[in-house]
Amino acid sequence: MVTRRSFLKGTAATGVLAAGGLAAPTLVFAQPKEVRWLNNEPDPNTIKFLNETAVEYEKKTGVKVLMEHVPVAEAYPKTIASIKAGRAYDLVTVGEVSMAVLLAGEGHCLPVTDVVKKVGLADFGPKSLWYFKNELYLYPYDYNFCYLFYRRDWYEQKGLKPAKTLNEFTEILKTFTAGDKRGWSQPLSAHATTNWAGVNVLWAHGVRLFGDNWNVVLDSPEVKPKAVAALNYLKATFPYMPKGMPQAQYADLINSFVAENVAHTFYTGRLIHHLEKVNPKIAESYGIMGFPTSSPDKWAVTHATDGWVVIKEGRSNAAALKLLEWFVTERLVDYLRTVVLHYQPVQRSVYKNPQWANDPLVRKHRHAVDAMYAFLDEKRTAINAIDIDGPGLDVIQGKVWNAFVIPEMYQEVLLKNVDPARAVENAAARIRKLQGRA
């Protein structure tokens, strides 16, 4: 599965991490000598931290965990390949809950429900714990909300304030479109970038894909007009986007903002770290906001929880569960601080943790952190995503993601001049075909 951070082509690295603990009686491999952990977080600080933690943890146990670091795009295929080869990883970092569900749906995961319960269910924020067949298969650590970045200094120069409605936002986009400058970067590519960073416009219009019984409602009498309105909004604001949005990937969203070509772009906290490194001026003059809706009291953000799964076929899966429990209770805050503004905690206790709250970057960018935390207020925020839309979790969400149904709906309208109503019908038909209900 291609995910939002695949533009970071980090060189694969390896480390050795020791793990130990008592095996649960129902698990096969009681006293493993090694545990294999596949990490897909590409940031050098994260990799460095994990490798340093390896030294510490190995001293505590006599069991090694062989740790492998790969770019995000490689994690899912490598996980599947390892299972088929009979040499499965034991612990895997995944970039979307749909990946966990696809694995669990094929019987490849062990539940992590007990680990979550030991930490405390009440500590987890809204839309962070997702049950599949009455079990939790993903231990989440990062919301990875996708929201709007805007140039606060440009707003101030023109006497503007962040839009509270879609109509206001359209006028602001128009204001910032002149010469070589454009209002916003909105991805339209048949790529995972659009699956994540390009769908806020749907949630802002109240679009849903599935009903209470997993029936497709995208083209229903209630939802179809909203989906058509969202597509018409993209048509109306297409002139305010830079060239290349139909091919845009993650790096394009970042680069357009860093290069000062657009007033707004979609991303998450990783962009702040990038600004600190390459354009400190903008790091002092940006703002973040949810995507406006038709209501001045509501905004939208897209959800994309990162987390860990334990692979059932792993030879040391019992030790992996013990490793996971130790890591999330003893080292989670340190881990989150490796890219502190990108990894938005899903556990409420982290926000109150003095080590996290007093991190220099958290203190410097307190306005951004407060805005991120405000997204957790579901009365104020419409939180949705392709991989969580519906009455719960199902493998169909991952299939819709992988088939690029939504990006291709956009492209039909914007590149092929298909009538928006017809494009919505086509997308709904594709989803039903993926379900086997066509």
Report if residue 67 sits inside a domain: yes
> Is residue 2 pLDDT above 60, yes or no?
no
Q: pLDDT above 90 covers what percent of the chain? A: 85
Q: pLDDT above 70 covers what percent of the chain? A: 92
Closest CA to 190 of 430, 404, 3, 1: 404
Read off the tokens for 336. Answer: 């989150």
Report if residue 219 sits inside a domain: yes
pLDDT range class, residue 93, cuts 50, 70, 90:
very high
Residues contacting residue 212 through CB under 8 Å, at least 6 positions apart: 391
Report if residue 208 sits inside a domain: yes
Q: Do both 217 and 95 map to the same domain?
A: no
φ, ψ dihedrals at 206, nearest 5°: 80, 20
State the pTM of this model. 0.89
- The neighbouring-strand residues paired with 291 are 300
Q: Do both 308 and 294 map to the same domain?
A: no
Alpha carbons 310 and 347: distance in angstroms, whole number: 20
Report if residue 7 sits inside a domain: no
Lowest mean per-residue pLDDT among 30-34, 60-64, 237-241, 255-259: 30-34
State the average pLDDT over residues 398-417: 97
Report if residue 369 sits inside a domain: no
Q: Do both 73 and 152 map to the same domain?
A: no
Q: Provide the residue range defining the domain that includes 48.
A: 13-144+304-364
Report if residue 136 sits inside a domain: yes
Q: Do both 178 and 310 map to the same domain?
A: no
**Sign of the dihedral defined by the CA atoms of residues 111, 115, 120, 126, in that order:** negative
State the average pLDDT over residues 108-119: 98
Alpha carbons 60 and 98: distance in angstroms, whole number: 34
Report the SS3 class of residue 68: strand
- The pLDDT tens digits of the residues spanning 350-393 come to 999 999 999 999 999 999 999 999 999 999 999 999 999 999 99
Question: Based on the structure, what is the number of domains in the chain?
Answer: 2
pLDDT range class, residue 18, cuts 50, 70, 90:
very low
User: For tokens 């109306």, what's the residue?
Assistant: 236
Q: Do both 151 and 296 map to the same domain?
A: yes
Please name the residue ranges forming H helices in 43-105.
Answer: 44-60, 72-84, 97-105
- The pLDDT tens digits of the residues spanning 297-324 come to 999 999 999 999 999 999 999 999 999 9
Report if residue 315 sits inside a domain: yes
State the average pLDDT over residues 263-290: 97
Alpha carbons 138 and 392: distance in angstroms, whole number: 14
State the average pLDDT over residues 105-115: 97
Q: Do both 101 and 172 map to the same domain?
A: no
Q: Do both 43 and 135 map to the same domain?
A: yes
Read off the tokens for 369. Answer: 């952190």
> Is residue 266 pLDDT above 60, yes or no?
yes
State the average pLDDT over residues 64-88: 92
Q: Do both 111 and 220 map to the same domain?
A: no
> Is residue 50 pLDDT above 50, yes or no?
yes
pLDDT range class, residue 96, cuts 50, 70, 90:
confident
Q: What is the pLDDT of residue 63?
A: 81
Q: What is the pLDDT of residue 32?
A: 61
Q: Do both 129 and 23 map to the same domain?
A: yes
Last residue of a domain, one of 332, 364, 396: 364
> Is residue 436 pLDDT above 60, yes or no?
yes
- The pLDDT tens digits of the residues spanning 206-235 come to 999 999 999 999 999 999 999 999 999 999
Q: Do both 111 and 44 map to the same domain?
A: yes
Task: Count other Cβ atoms within 10 Å, centred on residue 16.
Answer: 14
Q: Please, are residues 270 and 142 in contact by the beta-carbon 8 Å criterion? A: no
Q: Do both 62 and 87 map to the same domain?
A: yes
Q: Do both 423 and 294 map to the same domain?
A: yes
- The pLDDT tens digits of the residues spanning 127-168 come to 999 999 999 999 999 999 999 999 999 999 999 999 999 999
> Is residue 282 pLDDT above 90, yes or no?
yes
Q: What is the mean pLDDT of the chain?
A: 92
Q: What is the CATH number of the domain that holds 341?
A: 3.40.190.10
Report if residue 384 sits inside a domain: yes
State the average pLDDT over residues 41-62: 89
pLDDT range class, residue 13, cuts 50, 70, 90:
very low
- What type of residue sits at position 116? V
Q: What is the pLDDT of residue 326?
A: 95
Q: What is the pLDDT of residue 71?
A: 87
> Is residue 10 pLDDT above 60, yes or no?
no
Q: What is the pLDDT of residue 11?
A: 36
> Is residue 16 pLDDT above 50, yes or no?
no
Q: What is the pLDDT of residue 31?
A: 56
